[in-house]
Chain A
Amino acid sequence: MCPGGKLWSALYRFAAAATVLTLLSLHTVVYAQNVSVFAAVSLNEALDEALVLFERPANIRVVPSYAASSALARQIQSGAPADVFISADTEWMDYLAERKLIDVATRSNLMTNRMVLIAPAASSVQTEIRPGFGLSQMLGDGRLSVADPDSVPAGKYAKAALMTLGVWNSVERRLVRGENVRAALNFVARGEAPLGIVYRTDAYAEKKVRIVATFAPDTHPPIVYPAAMVVGSRVPAARQLLDFLRSQRARAIFEKHGFIAVR
């Protein structure tokens, strides 16, 4: 008998077990194609729900990856294997377009959103958002939870709105900067921050927060969600997915979650 007999038999057994497990996992649903979507995290629930409608009929499995648009754009720039990118602002889409990393012919705006001031559900704060409103007084010794205003779209919109209203300077040093808008949302939902600024759709998705007031759309740059195919994604399914996202059925789902679909 060869000296390595035991090792080999163990390896064979391992390989057999691995094969069986792999086959079992494949047993569920086998899709003809895979598409990878990098999407702004604020789209999480809405896109998940829309994708369910898309996958079976199209026989395409969609693998969504949610994060801050900034994080996703940088990952795509570094060669991440994304087929479709949906950003929460035009700047990060432009950033990839300038570097010829997205197919600009496939680019279009899917929807818009609104910015809101939120508080924990149990909080009773009330205010009206107008120039110079008492945001810093309302914070007390707490902090204002926003997405990182240097990079993340939701944070940039929040900063723009507060600058327009002339209260940015009073709260700039008192921010909690989430790495994406959902991190900012959660700090308020857990009561760690007394106030936060997120998308209206985030506030709808989280029962533990309450909308205190909505920012007027003219206080910040228009919120748009552009979508496009990533250069090098030779998957025809990506085009099919983009078409679906612009369809009436997908729009209905987005609107159900509080987005305003672009016609």
Chain B
Amino acid sequence: MVFLTPTEWEILALSVKVSLLSVVITLPVAVGIAALLARVDFFGKSVVDALVHLPLVLPPVVIGYFLLLLLGRQGPIGALLDQYLGIVVAFRWTGAAIACGIMGFPLMVRAIRLSIESIDAGLEAAARTLGASRLRVFFTIMLPLALPGVITGVLLSFARGLGEFGATITFVSNIPGETRTLPLAIYSQTQIPNGDAEAMRLSIIAIVLSVLALLTSEMLVRRAQRRSQGRDA
């Protein structure tokens, strides 16, 4: 990795930073929604389910376009954020993180939900009859047992964020050092004369990063499973 140029380091660091923030902001919401969908029946559940999955099937540019309309400086939400909290996300790396978070959200919810559904609901019921509050059951039983799913969800969403292109370029443009993440940098290199070699280098970085994310996910999931099995025994 010492062969990377300063610009490549900057791109790599920015990509990781954007993806990390996207995961941090979406994780609590994703866990909540996943638990809701897995354990509670309520009116309009299928609508919520469909909404959660929307980013998976919509063209990313549609997400980016709506984000620009809503969260841009002139957008209804963006203008309020700017006016009252002084937060501007348009053309900022934080905006890129929001775009990545939304694109990775369905992946995160799916993985966590599957994991929660596979927990024996009897365990939670038993804890409840022994007097544990709903909150306590959630933190001491559901969450630890769903950990493999949470890890998978986090890493899938993180990897999705690293690869996010359409929503990002539409919402926050392609600003070096601010919003030019790996895929955007690769795209930019394919647009300039003789940029092929650099595009290839950046592509290899992207491959290495993705493989690392997947391997880490495998390893962490296996460790979490071993731990929860050890506890059962």
Contact = CB atoms under 8 A, between A and B. Distances in A.
Interface of A: 68, 70-71, 74, 95, 142-143, 148, 150-152, 173, 175-179, 183, 187, 190-193
Interface of B: 68-69, 72-74, 90-91, 169, 173-177, 187-188, 190-193
B192 A179 contact: no
Contacts of A178: 173-174
Nearest to A187: B173
Given A148-B174, A192-B68, A192-B91, A70 B191 contact: yes
A36 to B, nearest CB: 20
B91 A151 contact: no
Interface of B is mostly: loop
A193 B68 CA distance: 12
A193 B74 CA distance: 10
A141 to B, nearest CB: 8
A152 B188 CA distance: 10
Contact of A151 (B90, B176, B177, B191): B191
Contacts of B169: 179
A93 to B, nearest CB: 12
Nearest to A176: B173
A94 to B, nearest CB: 10
Contacts of B192: 70, 150-151
A197 B108 CA distance: 41
B191 A71 contact: yes
Contacts of B91: 143, 176, 192-193
A187 B68 CA distance: 10
Contacts of A191: 72-74
Given A150-B192, A177-B175, A192-B90, 8 more contacts: A95-B193, A151-B191, A176-B175, A177-B173, A183-B173, A187-B173, A192-B68, A193-B91
